[in-house]
Each structure stands twice: as C-alpha cells, then as structure tokens.
Structure 1
Amino acid sequence: MTREDPLAPLPRRVEVAIIGSGFGGLCMAIRLRHTGIEDFVLLEKEHEVGGCWRDNTYPGAACDVPSHLYSFSFERKTDWSRHFASQVEILDYLRHCAGKYGLRRHLHVNTEVTGAEFDEAAGLWRIHIADGRTLEARVLVSACGQLNRPALPRLPGLEHFEGKQFHSARWDHGYPLEGRTVAVIGTGASAIQFVPQIAPRVKQLFLYQRSAPYVLPKPDRAYGWLERALFSRLPASQLGSRWWTYWQYESRVLVFEGPAWVSGILERRFHRHLERSVPDPRLRQTLTPTDPIGCKRVLLSNDYYPALTRPNVEVVTEGIREVTRHGLITVDGKEREVDALIHGTGFQATDFLAPMRITGRGGRELNEAWREGAEAYLGLTVSGFPNLFLLYGPNTNLGHNSIVFMLESQVRYVLACLRVLRERNLRFLDVRPDSQRDFNARLQRSLERSVWAADCSSWYKTAGGRNTNNWPGFTFHYRRQTRGPRLAHYEAVHVPSPPGRGSG
C-alpha cells in the first residue's frame, strides 16, 4: 500500500500539512525538502497533482503567461514547445516536479480536508478529512488557490434543463458536440479559449455575453528546434529569456495604476485587433467593452474574434430571464432551444478556503473573521489563526505578471517563519490584529487609486464591492516585503518550560 492509495493511513502528527498540490503546494513541499524538513504531508482532494491545470482540460486550455516565466525558478524547463504553454504541457511539468523532487511519498490523494481547528494549548492544528480520518500538524499551509471552485450562474429554471450541461472546469469529453446546438454562458478567460475550438464542430453556437471583455492579440508561437537546443545547451539564454519576460510583464502594472496615456496605448491595440478581426461594424460594437481597460482581466487570443464571425455563431447580449427544459429565454422574450449548455462562468474566487471550516483561537471561525471580505497580513497570515499560512491568499492575485513569482516569495516567507518557530522554541506565531489592520488599510488605499476601483463588476471583488483578490503594485515590492517575518508584527508564544524549571 502506497501513500497515494486513498486508504493509506495518514500519520498521526506531522510538522507541516499542506492542502493542495498545484503550483503552490508543490513549491512549498519542494522547498521544505530543500531545507531538510521531511515531516510533512501533501493533502490532495483529487486523484493527482496539478491544481487548476489538472481540472481545466477544456479544448484550447493554455496559459496567458509565457512559459519561461510560468515555471519555478529552481526548475527551469528548457524544452517548452511554445511561447505560451498548453494545459497538457503545464500539467506534465507539474507531474515531473512531483516525481523529480520525491514528493509522491508525502502525497495523499483522494484526501479532502473538510475543516481544521487550532488547539492553542498544544500549539497544533487538528485537521479533519472527509472520510473521517484526522491528523495533527504544527503548521498548516493552505495551497488551495483562488480558482479551484467553479461558479455556476444563478438562473431560474437551470435545474430543469433536460439537455447536457457542464462547467468548463469540469469538461465532459464523453459528450459529442458535433452537430449539436450549444449555448455558452460567459465570455471570460476560459470561454475565449474553448469557443474557437468548438465553434467549427457544432451546428449552432449561442454565446451569451453579459459584458464584452478586452481581448488583445496573443504573441504566441512554437519554439523552433534551434531555440530549444540553445536553451538546453546554454541555460543562461533561457534565464535571460525569463528575466526579459519578467520585466516586460512587470511594466504592465502601469496599465492598472499608471497615468491614463499608458492604458490608452493598450486600448488602441485592442481596437486595432478588433477591427482587423471583425469586419462587421455591428458585431464590433457588440464586442466593444464599456468598462475601462484593466478593471476586469485583460484577455489574450488570436482566434476568439474570428470565431465569432462564423455564420453558425450568434453573440447574445440580452440578459437571460430563465432556463427552460429545452433552452434559454432572454429578457426580450425570445427562446433559443439548445442541446447543451456550457458554463464559462469562472470560479468562486473570493471565497478562498470555503467550504472548509477553519477554527482558530477562542473558537473563532475564519468565515466569521472574513464576513466583510477576506483579508490577511501580506496575503499570508490571519490574526487569530496561528501557524496558518495561505499561499495565493487574499490580495495576492496579479493582473500583469506570473503568480509563480508570488508563490515563491510566499514560500520563502513561510520557511522563514518555520525557522523562527524552531530556533526560538515557539509554540506558535500569530500576527497581531493591528499589524493586519494597518497592512490592509494601506493596501485598500492603493487599490482605490487603481483602475480596479472603477464601477465594474469582476471576480476580483466581493458582492459588496471589496477587492479581496489583487495585489496593487509591483511584484518585486511584494518580494521585498516577504523577505522574512518582522517579529514585532507577531505575537510569539513560547513552549512552556517543563515543571520545576524556571525561565531564569
């Protein structure tokens, strides 16, 4: 019986428990091993590592960050096939990392965490698994990410639809789309990738667009054999490509927070792309956003707009009134009958650790602490929840660069906290409420000066309008802030001295 067997026994207690095995969880595990820490487990609710790159297998799934940058700095892959890697290639990379760094003996798949509570006296997290098993950990690391729980639209009658329906992140590859009439709800990052792939296959495609996204050309191409040979034999060339890409993308933060003329340049690129791709002026008008550029995710595609000009594709902008057994009725009273309904409606990104029930000091639940919107100190730690660290936590998402860079910064910070716990013989570290409050007050003031403060709805914001997802600034600023913990910002609780031995 191996650790990957769903019935394999969990250890009773470990030093570190990591929830999730996407980029964040694997990075944390690899770095633990680099520092000599072997007493940890990777808890994965699915059958394999990979996170969102395991789940999102829809046609055309690919990354919108260049492959040389969308990989670990300590495991640079020199043979990416394209400038922007596909889902299949990224998942293979993550599997490779899990194997190369010996993580599978720490991995427990089909192991869904339902909750955890902190035992303050013992300084331990007691973690509950869906099948009734439990384990204890000194440190709990959540690497669940922000894009792991599909969001389904709340439409009257949706449960009565008799055709096939599924979310893009749960693509049904066994359902043949050929010759079918298909409705797609949503025009976000997933839809712009799979719509061009399925449009030539279906009989009719109705694309329901609530608001038009900004779509820019994607500078994608295959790497030639000569380039790959150069990257392989001269690793410095691949490193140079990585850093050039980093600074090129880092400058794009000015679109969100810089002067208007910077975003104006990008907006002109968008209009040129739209005009070249869509000859019909009426359709161009339909596909022209009304929000300022950047307030929602800016998307990249070369084939999305051409797909919408196909005679079997109709872009529907009227709101959906209800779903019937055989189709959808829009607010103008028109019903369109369809065989299948595909939800390209994104994820419950602002819910973070939900539906897990996390209980900290004094019996306080994380959902209660976050009732007005999730927040954390440096996006990593939450007051009242000691020794809990969040990778890709609140306000650490990016609109301009690679999240892998942010994850490596966060992992370095967690390792520094682990060293402090060990070297100072601490029971736990708990960020002070005022430190968390001051950090988030500064962060929200920065967000108010950005384009994300514009009056547009996006997955970056809660229903109440609070931006809980994005980092407002340069990633190198974040890396500098996460060099290591400032103990003045934490309550450091020591392990009690044995009976009969005073502290001096």
Structure 2
Amino acid sequence: MQLPDGANPLPPDPQYRPVDDYRRMKVICIGAGMCGITVGALFPQAIPNLDLVIYEKNSEVGGTWYDGRIQPDLTPHTYQYTFASNPNWSRFYPPGKEFEQYLIDVSKQFDVYKYVKFGHKFESAKWHADIGQWEVQVLNLEDGTVKTDWADILIKATGFVNAWEWPNVPGREKFKGHMVHTANWDDSYDVTGKNVAVVGYGSTGVQITPAIQPIVKHLDHYVRGKVWVPPGGGTNFQELAERGVEKNFDHPKWERKFFCNNPEAYLAFRKKQEQWSNMVQAVQLKGTEMNAQFREMLKENMRQTCKDKPELVDMLMPEYAPGCRRLIMGQAWLEALNKPNANLIPKAVKEFTEKGLIDSDGVEREYEAIICATGFDKNMDNRSTPYVGRNGITLQQAWDPDPVAYFGVAAPDMPNLFIMFGPNSAPFAGSIVHTFEGAAKYIIKCIKKIQLEYIKSMAVNAWVKQVDHHMSTTVLSESCFTWFKRNKPEGRVITSWPGSAMHGYFGWENPRYEDFDYESWLPEDAPLSYLGSGFTVAERDNGDTTGYMSYTDVKTVMPVTDYAEDTPRL
C-alpha cells in the first residue's frame, strides 16, 4: 500500500511478534490545558512504545488558566490532580496566577514539556480509513506555515472553555476607553479610581467584580438573568466557618510547612474537602428533601447577604431549582454588590458607544473601562476546526442537533478519536479533575487494546438514552437558560455526566469493549493472529521471565516469615 507523505508506517506482520510486544502508536493530542497535561503526564507512564505529540496554540501550558488567570471559584485542594498534590497553596482560594504556576510545576515534574509543540494552532483533522490514521493540520503561529502530521490516535483535549467570545453586541469598535475580555486579561491596565462596567455573569464575571470593587470609583455589573449563589462557593464552607471566616483565608507559613513535611496530614486535609463535594449529588435530584433544604439555605443566605440592598434579592433570586443552570460560586460577588460603589443592572447590553454602552431599556452610561466576562463558545459544533470522520461525516454533522459522546469520550463516526472533557462528562458533585483522570485512564486502556490486538479502528455509537433518562430525574431538566443546554431552556443537557464524579470514575474503570465497532489489520480468517509467535518479549530478549513473582494483586498475602520451621506438617 502506498502511504501518503509523512504517514506513519503500517503495523508489522504479527507472526513473529511476541504477544506482549506493543506496536508503535503515534498519538496526537490537541491542547495543553488541564486535560492535555493529564494526557502528557499519564499516557507515557502507561502506554509502551508511545510516540506522543501535544499541539498547543499558546506559548505555555495551562489553557484557560494561562489565558485568564482569574482566581478559581473552587478551592484547589480539590481542584488538583490526585497524582500531584500541592501542599503549598497560599490561600484556600489562591490567585489564578498561582494555579497556573501549579500547572507549570506539574508539567515540569512529569516531563510534559518534551511532548508539547507551542505556538501551533489546530486547523483540521481528516480520517483516512484505508491506512487507519488521522491527517492533522496545524498552523505554526510564528511563521504562518501549515504543517501536516499523522496519528494512529487523535485526542481532542480542548475542553469547553477554549475559544473565548466577545459579546454579540454592535458597536464594540466604537468604544474609546479600555475594553478587555477576562479570558485575555491585560495586567498592564490599572482600574483604580475608574468608572468600570462588567458585562456577563459567568464564573469570571463574579470573580472579577469582588477583586476590583474595592479599588474602582464606581462599578456597574450587567446581569441579564437570575442565579443561585451558594455560600462559601462550591467548596466545603464548613472549613471557612471552622476558620472563623466567610470568604477566604490564608494558609500561614507554618501550616504549609507542616503539610509539606507531613504528606499524610495534607492528604487527610484534601480528603476532608473532597468528601464534602462528593456528598452533594442528591441536591441535583428533583423533588428530594435535600434539594428543598438546599434551596431554602440559598434563599436565606441571599437575604442575609443582601440586607443592605434588599432589592438585589428580587433581581437575582430565580424561580428554577438550584442546579438547573450552573451555580454561581459568588458569595464574595454578592457581598461586593452590596457596597455603595457597586450597582447591579439586570439588563442586557444593547449597544456599545464611544463613551460607554446602552442597555436594553435604552439607557446610556459612560465608563472609562469595560470588562467583558462573556465567556466562551460552548456550542461544541467545531465549525472553525473541522474533524472529518468516517464516510466524510464531520464532527459538526455528527453533533447535530446536539453533541453526544459515548461515556463522554468517543463521538459517533469518529474512529480512533477520543475526547477529554467531552459532552456529558462534567459531574455535578465531586472534583472535575477526578473525571479528567478517569477519562484518561479509560482512553489508555482503549489505546493499549488497539496496540496489542492489531485493531485498525475503534468507533462507537451514542449513548443518549441512558444520559437523557438520568437527566430527566434531575433539576437540569427544568426550564432555565443555561449553556448546559446550549441556552435552550427545554433543550438536551450536553455537558453533564449522568452521575457524580465518583460514579464517573467507576464507570470509566472498565470499558465495555463490546459496545465498539472494530476494523482489524488482521485477516478475517485469522482474527487472533495478534497472539503472535507464542513467546513474550522477555523470552525473546533473554530478560526476566519471572517478573510476575515480584508482585501480587492479592490484597492479603502470607509473608515468608510466617512460614516458620516449626510450622506443623501434614
């Protein structure tokens, strides 16, 4: 078979191959954010004979955290990798720059950098069924050239929050003041003493407002919908209460030193925080006592927090149940809005002007700076970066009308394409980082199966029925305006995993290989010829043929010392 220029060699004849001789596998990963770092850290440890390349458009790892660097709305004690504990966080909710530095440190520790090609923007990918490979095109942002690379396996690790968007409002170019998007923050501009508008009330909007409210002259926050705000953010607010604070606290030097010198103590502290987040899944279920209690708690917290401006309660308190749209981790935001120099404007922005903006009621206000916290393109339709799969079907077509992916990792008609943080993979309860790791380990098992068994392609159909059934039992099925449902109040839930983070991690532990459709490199009349020569690598290379004696997966074993000379004999 004539291979295209640059394509990877086809698998060798397995006839003379030891059964445990993993064939070379070229894997291309798109993105070096948290998901891409997970790939770069875990794949080389688990996959033999791996040729891994990670393409990243930025000049550094971190993805969204590199672009935005806004303070996380979840404590990193739970929002970090299980395989890379950091006991040295400066605060319970540290600055965003500190979290970005954590991702850099992890990448250095696990040698992720040697796999990453920075300044390369993904352009397109096309599946070639005859050779079982993806043709991937990336744009070199330094010289403007387009490079073609080939992969046996393609990993889409660009996540939900990758392509940030300006508000879809006319006149943005007219504004003569300073305008910035939170996902492309400008550290050189100082908002101190200025009149500032914040547009948008997603995660970054509610994070930036309390950060700048104390230093600006006046702040207007434009919020066009109503939201639920849990006290203490999405983290263990009991930890805040135990420390005698409401919003945040420093980890003093002595405590950080103690955690560094006592890893078991820090692990116990991490488990304490994560235990809380793992125990709230029932809050999402419709008609439960826990959901009702949670709703009352949020109501009371909003009333108490907004007692200086009670009108905020009517502006913000929704009719839908908590959890129908993403909870706003914004206790500090609520408190900032209660300050005299802050104002909530429950209106959409109609138009930008030279001096400011006009709201949906036609009222114009003037500002020196406008901060757009309008988020990212979360439609996941891949219009600008096409993936062309089996029979010429694009990922955009496969995800019409809604994105679907089997177990959140495998899209229909996309052989050998695996997705990190794909549709229906985000849990309601528990650490989302835990799900990144679970998905990565699932994909590792699939890749090793492809390697060993001479599989040419591995694809699967959707699993929509199970997802939709679960969502019908949750408050996500209520009518609310949320990107979880592509901003369609009655639409399908496209983001959330049908269960908790722990549920997902367990679900990913053992792939149901029988759900996949396969093409093989082997003859139809010899599907098991991947078993090869009848030997193992150790036998071929005169290596250790007794490695299995060095370990056991049995939980309880009898030590040699327990088998004393005077042990009774039969």
* 8 A contact 1:350–1:461 mirrored in 2: no
Residue number in structure 2 paired with 1:7: none
Q: Which entry has the higher C-alpha Rg, 1 or 2?
A: 2
Q: Which amino acid aligns with 2:276?
A: Q
1:311-322 aligned within 5 A: 311-322=340-351
**What is the distance in 1 between the residues matched to 2:263 and 2:38?**
21
Is residue 2:514 matched to residue 1:472?
no
Q: Which amino acid aligns with 1:114?
A: E
Q: Alignment identity in percent?
A: 27
CA offsets per residue over residues 318-343 of structure 1, 9 Å max, x none?
33333323222223332112222211
Q: CA deviation at 1:95?
A: 0.7
Q: Which amino acid aligns with 2:357?
A: L
Q: Which amino acid aligns with 1:426?
A: I
Residue number in structure 1 paired with 2:563: none
Q: CA deviation at 1:370?
A: 0.9
Which shifted more, 139-148 or 157-166?
A: 157-166
**What is the distance in 1 between the residues matched to 2:90 and 2:363?**
46
Q: Which amino acid aligns with 2:265?
A: S
Residue number in structure 1 paired with 2:361: 332
Residue number in structure 1 paired with 2:473: 449
Which shifted more, 453-462 or 224-233?
A: 224-233
Is residue 2:358 matched to residue 1:351?
no
Aligned to 2:202, the other structure's residue is in SS state coil
- Structure 2, unmatched stretches of 5+, are 1-5, 9-24, 140-144, 233-239, 241-247, 531-570
CA offsets per residue over residues 118-174 of structure 1, 9 Å max, x none?
111111111001231110011001110111122332223334333332211112222
Q: CA deviation at 1:502?
A: 12
> CA 1:37–1:331 in structure 2 vs 1: closer, same or farther (change >3 Å)?
same
Residue number in structure 2 paired with 1:115: 124
1:58-77 aligned within 5 A: 61-77=70-86
**What is the distance in 1 between the residues matched to 2:227 and 2:259?**
35
Residue number in structure 1 paired with 2:34: 23
Aligned to 2:276, the other structure's residue is in SS state helix
* 8 A contact 1:146–1:352 mirrored in 2: no
Is residue 2:125 matched to residue 1:96?
no
CA offsets per residue over residues 453-487 of structure 1, 9 Å max, x none?
11110121124422111113122221222123322
Which shifted more, 238-247 or 367-376?
A: 238-247
Q: CA deviation at 1:194?
A: 0.8
Is residue 2:209 matched to residue 1:195?
yes
Pairing partner for 1:41 from 36, 43, 53: 53
* 8 A contact 1:49–1:94 mirrored in 2: yes
CA offsets per residue over residues 182-203 of structure 1, 9 Å max, x none?
2211122111111112223323
Is residue 2:534 matched to residue 1:483?
no
> CA 1:37–1:226 in structure 2 vs 1: closer, same or farther (change >3 Å)?
farther
Is residue 2:403 matched to residue 1:379?
no
> CA 1:84–1:205 in structure 2 vs 1: closer, same or farther (change >3 Å)?
closer
* 8 A contact 2:379–2:486 mirrored in 1: yes
Which shifted more, 285-294 or 166-175?
A: 285-294
**What is the distance in 1 between the residues matched to 2:29 and 2:180?**
30
Q: CA deviation at 1:21?
A: 0.8
Q: Which amino acid aligns with 1:65?
A: L
Is residue 2:527 matched to residue 1:494?
no
Residue number in structure 1 paired with 2:310: 281
> CA 1:501–1:466 in structure 2 vs 1: closer, same or farther (change >3 Å)?
closer
Q: Which amino acid aligns with 1:265?
A: Q
Pairing partner for 1:309 from 338, 341, 347: 338
Residue number in structure 2 paired with 1:460: 484
Q: CA deviation at 1:353?
A: 4.5
Residue number in structure 2 paired with 1:56: 68
RMSD: 2.4
**What is the distance in 2 between the residues matched to 1:300 and 1:318?**
21
Residue number in structure 2 paired with 1:425: 454
Q: Which amino acid aligns with 1:444?
A: D
Is residue 2:201 matched to residue 1:173?
no
* 8 A contact 2:29–2:154 mirrored in 1: yes
Aligned to 2:476, the other structure's residue is in SS state helix
Q: CA deviation at 1:109?
A: 0.2
1:352-371 aligned within 5 A: 353-371=382-400
Aligned to 1:191, the other structure's residue is in SS state helix
Residue number in structure 2 paired with 1:264: 292
Q: Which amino acid aligns with 1:461?
A: K
**What is the distance in 1 between the residues matched to 2:358 and 2:82?**
50
**What is the distance in 2 between the residues matched to 1:108 and 1:43?**
5
1:120-199 aligned within 5 A: 120-130=129-139, 131-199=145-213
Is residue 2:424 matched to residue 1:395?
yes
Q: Which amino acid aligns with 1:455?
A: S
Residue number in structure 1 paired with 2:283: 255
Aligned to 2:75, the other structure's residue is in SS state coil
**What is the distance in 2 between the residues matched to 1:112 and 1:236?**
41
* 8 A contact 1:327–1:338 mirrored in 2: yes
Q: Which amino acid aligns with 1:311?
A: P
Aligned to 1:126, the other structure's residue is in SS state strand
* 8 A contact 2:27–2:50 mirrored in 1: no
- Structure 1, unmatched stretches of 5+, are 1-10
Q: Which amino acid aligns with 2:387?
A: I
Residue number in structure 2 paired with 1:238: 266
Q: CA deviation at 1:81?
A: 2.2
> CA 1:169–1:449 in structure 2 vs 1: closer, same or farther (change >3 Å)?
same
CA offsets per residue over residues 15-37 of structure 1, 9 Å max, x none?
11111111111111111221244
* 8 A contact 1:65–1:402 mirrored in 2: no
Count of residues paired in the alignment: 485
